Amino acid sequence: MKINENTLLEGHRVVLVPYNKHHVDRYHEWMKSPELQLLTASEPLSLEEEYNMQRSWREDDDKCTFIILDKQRWMDSSLEEEQCMVGDVNIFLTDPTDPSLAELEIMIAEPSYRGKGIGKEVTRMMMNYGLTKLGIGKFQAKIGLDNQVSIAMFKKLLFQEVSVCKVFKEVTLELTVDKSIRMKLLDDMAHVKEKDYRQTCSGRRELRSQRRFSRARSTSS
Ligand SMILES: CC(C)(COP(=O)(O)OP(=O)(O)OC[C@H]1O[C@@H](n2cnc3c(N)ncnc32)[C@H](O)[C@@H]1OP(=O)(O)O)[C@@H](O)C(=O)NCCC(=O)NCCS
């Protein structure tokens, strides 16, 4: 989706940025993990296929994706964005006749970042984005029956089980955004700052080159 191609969302512990070409190498490395393939029901892709996938996430009108960055590392402008990557979060518009229905997916790819509340924070940020920017009124999550952590997380976020597919060993959880859920989400996410992504990137690049320049000056004097 093009709508978020220049959007940066800053939360408490994470920063969400659009999925760009320079993220693909690290993403591809993550997806070599058999554990992640199993938990996310994904097939391993070649690097070229991963680049095509990134392009399709950007271009297709039914898909919206953000890369999750560790905010603390991202605030250190000496680090490249790729060094701050933690995972990704996606929204799919699954029903062409109902643009208010979306499937939500999240992956905290870096194991050391799991179990610290980041999954919950990112999912709510994405729900808030879906609600306010994409007009989503109902979210679904399709989760492997063995993925107890993910099932527990979505239930904590008030998703309810609506069906189990024994063939695919998958449960579908759903949340309809009624007035009270909407009010609470808007209230809880009021701290999220939306920024111009390209401007923020050039600001970080500028700081990096200033630092290199002053380092070069101090070593030459
Ligand atoms: C599933 C996943 C998104 C959860 O994110 P997370 O950052 O690890 O989870 P959080 O720390 O935000 O915890 C959210 C809830 O999940 C549950 N949870 C987290 N870690 C858990 C664990 N080790 N065991 C059981 N439940 C756990 C808890 O209910 C927790 O809520 P609480 O802290 O209020 O009790 C993340 O672990 C992940 O991406 N795993 C690998 C890929 C994956 O499974 N993706 C989902 C595919 S559907």
Report pLDDT digits (tens) over 202-213. 999 899 888 878
The architecture (CATH level 2) of 7-220 comes to 3-Layer(aba) Sandwich (3.40)
Output the pLDDT for position 213.
81
Look up residue 21 and give its DSSP letter. Answer: G
Pairing, β 101-108 against β 138-144 = parallel
Token pair 């194991």 is found at 111
Pocket test for ligand 1, best of 68, 143, 153, 171 (most atoms within 8 A of CB): 153
Residue 162 has pLDDT above 90, yes or no: yes
List beta partners, residue 193.
10
155 lines ligand 1 (CB under 6 A): no
Summarize pLDDT for 104-126 with one digit per residue, the tens.
999 999 999 999 999 999 999 99
Give 138: exposed, middle or buried? Use CB within 10 Å, 0-12, 13-18, 19+.
middle
Answer whether 115 contacts ligand 1 (Cβ < 6 A): yes
134 neighbors 166 (Cβ within 8 angstroms): no
Give the pLDDT score at 8.
98
The residue extents of the domains of the chain are 7-220
pTM of the model: 0.96
Q: What distance in angstroms lies between residue 134's CA and the mean position of ligand 1's atoms?
A: 25
How high is the mean pLDDT of the chain? 96
